[in-house]
A = this chain, B = another copy of it.
Amino acid sequence: MRVRLDSEDRAAFLALPVQHRTVEPASYMVREGERVESCILLLTGFAYRHKVTGDGQRQIMAVHMPGEFLDLQNSLLGVADHNLQALTRCEVAMVPVAALRRLAEDRPRVGQGMWIDTLVDAAIFREWIVNVGRRDSISRLSHLLCEIALRLDEAGLVRNGCYELPMTQEQIADCTGLTPVHVNRVLKELGRLGLISRDKRAVRILEWDRLQEIGDFNARYLHMEAGGPAKLHSAL
């Protein structure tokens, strides 16, 4: 969570009745239209939120990584307005919404922490609107790669500017509002420009500053701790 809790609050949080479960790749955790009764904490693995349009196109609205709280969104609103699907195999802890709600009432500090967590999610949604609405394909992809780099770094999953991005090019296309074919071309272009290199699903960022520049990337919207971005920056 993106908020500091004192030990008592933390204890209350950890005392929540959780149910551990393993989720297979590509399986749905929540489907649009379902009533959601429990909330998911992602322990390991990746997941993503998406909607499908009337003519069958898919748009991914968020990618989630280990340590993140999923579905505070859907569960508090009652009926899910989008799908939540596993990208990789995931280990999750499920918490009944009622318990979470009670916790938020008994310990306002914890409630506020979760609130802020969802506000950061919202900030990321906003940036994605900008990304998809106003940037050309090379900027869009660069921006996505920058965001994922910083968030993975925060989760401790970046080594020497290199990280595992467990998405197919089709899924990357669905994040950026492009087609898989074009994602492929732009990814190659980023390689040709010497900004990144790829090996399978692994991405290495070769020129962090220029990638940020081309991606029109400013980390402010991620609302990370002060040390966050700088840390990666120095590692690159």
Contact = CB atoms under 8 A, between A and B. Distances in A.
A82 B133 CA distance: 15
Contacts of A126: 49, 51, 61-62, 81-82, 125
Contact of A105 (B112, B116, B118, B177): B112
Contact of A129 (B57, B101, B128): B128
B132 A76 contact: no
Contacts of A28: none
Interface in A50-95: 51, 53-55, 57-59, 61-62, 72-73, 76-79, 81-82
A220 interface: yes
Contact of A115 (B115, B129, B220, B223): B115
A133 B177 contact: yes
Interface residues of A, number: 53
A145 B132 CA distance: 20
A18 interface: no
- Chain A contact surface mostly: helix
Scoring A58, A73, A79, A126 by chain B CB atoms within 10 A of each residue's CB, the highest score goes to A126
A135 B61 contact: no
A194 interface: no
B220 A33 contact: yes
Question: What are the nearest 4 A-B pairs in CB distance?
Answer: A133-B177, A125-B125, A105-B108, A122-B122
Given A79-B223, A105-B112, 15 more contacts: A53-B135, A59-B130, A59-B133, A77-B116, A79-B220, A81-B223, A104-B115, A105-B108, A115-B115, A122-B125, A128-B129, A132-B177, A133-B176, A133-B177, A134-B177
Interface of A: 32-33, 49, 51, 53-55, 57-59, 61-62, 72-73, 76-79, 81-82, 101, 104-106, 108-109, 111-112, 114-116, 118-123, 125-130, 132-135, 176-177, 216, 220-221, 223
14 contacts: A33-B220, A53-B134, A58-B134, A59-B129, A72-B119, A76-B112, A76-B116, A77-B120, A81-B221, A82-B126, A111-B111, A115-B118, A128-B129, A129-B132
